[in-house]
């Protein structure tokens, strides 16, 4: 990205040296945002929101199988079992309870900081 601005500063003058590179970098992001408007929600997210009918429809569209197919039914059953297991493990913990647990336990804090550091370095 630095080379992009360096090249623009060599060949352009005035306001164009930063306006054009920013506009060019913004085009893929705008295309992604527009494309996201046409995407279906994740079947797992829909199931977690207890919207099983739409989750079944989206899953059948994703797998290109009819809604009544055995594979779709099996996957929805596995999804329901996994969501129930997660609810049982989390219990009545709120978001802040989970955050407190993540940041106060040294092992969890180290894992979180390592993950955040890796994501920052990736960018």
3 state SS for 45-65: HHHHCCCHHHHHHHHHHHHCC
Model confidence band, residue 1 (pLDDT cutoffs 50, 70, 90):
low
Q: Are residues 22 and 54 in the same domain?
A: no
Q: Are residues 83 and 118 in the same domain?
A: yes
Q: Are residues 49 and 106 in the same domain?
A: yes
At residue 92, the pLDDT reads 83
Q: Which residues does 66 contact at the CB level (< 8 Å), separation at least 6?
A: 60, 72
> What would the two tokens of residue 4 be?
């992009």
Q: Are residues 31 and 87 in the same domain?
A: no
- Evaluate if pTM is beyond 0.85: no
Is pLDDT above 80 for 12?
no
Greater pLDDT, 83 or 24: 83
> What would the two tokens of residue 58 be?
């989206």
> What's the number of domains the chain is made of?
2
Q: Are residues 6 and 63 in the same domain?
A: no
Q: What is the mean pLDDT of residues 14-37?
A: 85
Q: Are residues 23 and 52 in the same domain?
A: no
Instruction: Identify the domain containing residue 49 by its residue range.
Output: 43-122
Q: Are residues 57 and 32 in the same domain?
A: no
Residue by residue, DSSP assigns 2-26 as HHHHHHHHHH--TTHHHHHHHHHHH
């Amino acid at each position: 990205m630095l080379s992009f601005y360096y090249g623009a500063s060599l060949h352009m003058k005035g306001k164009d040296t930063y306006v054009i590179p920013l506009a060019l970098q913004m085009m893929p992001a705008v295309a992604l945002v527009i494309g996201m408007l046409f995407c279906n929600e994740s079947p797992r997210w829909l199931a977690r929101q207890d919207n099983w009918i739409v989750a079944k429809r989206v899953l059948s569209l994703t797998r290109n199988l009819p809604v009544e197919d055995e594979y779709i039914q099996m996957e929805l059953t596995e999804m329901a079992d996994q969501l129930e297991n997660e609810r049982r493990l989390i219990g009545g913990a709120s978001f802040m309870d989970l955050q407190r647990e993540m940041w106060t336990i040294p092992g969890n804090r180290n894992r979180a900081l390592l993950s955040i550091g890796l994501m920052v370095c990736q960018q």
